Amino acid sequence: MKRRIDTATRIILAAEALFAEQGFTETTMRQITAEADVNLAAVNYHFRSKQGLVNAVTERLMEPLCDEIEVALADRLASSSNIQLEELLEMLMRALLHVNQQNTFSLSVFMRLLELAYMKNQEELRDFFVSRYAPRLESYLRCLQADAAPMEENEFFWRLHFMLGAVVFTLSNYHTLLILEKRSFKDSAEIEQILHRMIPVLTAGLQARAENNYFCRL
């Protein structure tokens, strides 16, 4: 039994490294089995398919992140139900930093995973995301909406995805952004600085007054 667990973990780690380097679509099962030093039968036994392996990597990335957010939110709600957007975004950033520092996952892998979920041929992955993690993040998102500007549900949907898009783009490209800033990446402290720089920008976007008739006035 122990050998099976070790084999499954080895496959996940190999897939995660290759996904981070090449992307999900570009990574082949042959590359994964070679990196993990297993045969295809072992991958099929543990995960049934490449999609099953992608879902397993998703779990490895999302579970600790959700755990961190849930604990931080519960602790904060124990003292007050009134939480400002800055605090909530700080929770998200600290959760990302904590699990990254614990080597639980690579931020680049996580961002690639989120990007992949938006592709038109990834309905299965989107369904997996929604069914597994939407309930776990519901309380957090409800708190975000409570301190955001008054707006319709569909407007909040778009604001939330604008926020997510900013986070994904920044973390997917932070090495390039540092080069454009004429600096080289040194350590995780720079990631922390980048994440904290985003908080006032994201807060302003969520608190901006909704203009439902904007285009009608142009």
- For the chain, percent of residues with pLDDT exceeding 90: 48
When pLDDT is cut at 50, 70 and 90, the band that residue 142 belongs to is very high
Locate 87 and state its tokens: 């605090």
Q: pTM for the full model?
A: 0.82
* C-alpha triplet 9, 15, 17: angle, nearest 5°: 105
Q: Is the pLDDT of residue 181 over 80?
A: no
Q: What number is the average pLDDT over the span 69-96?
A: 93
User: What CATH fold (topology level) applies to the domain 1-48?
Assistant: Arc Repressor Mutant, subunit A (1.10.10)
User: Which residue, among 73, 60, 79, has the nearest Cα to 20 in the 3D structure?
Assistant: 60
- Residue-level pLDDT at 112: 76
Q: Is the pLDDT of residue 120 over 70?
A: yes
Q: Identify the residue with better confidence: 170 or 158.
A: 158
- Residue-level pLDDT at 5: 53
- Residue-level pLDDT at 71: 96
- Residue-level pLDDT at 188: 62
Residues forming CATH 1.10.10.60 domain(s) in the chain: 1-48
- Residue-level pLDDT at 149: 95
User: Which residue, among 63, 201, 211, has the nearest Cα to 128 in the 3D structure?
Assistant: 63
Q: Identify the residue with better confidence: 109 or 160.
A: 160
Give, in order, the Cα–Cα distances in Å from 206 to each of 147, 178, 201, 210: 9, 26, 9, 9
For the domain with range 55-217, which CATH number is right: 2.60.40.10, 1.10.357.10, 3.90.79.10, 3.20.20.80?
Answer: 1.10.357.10
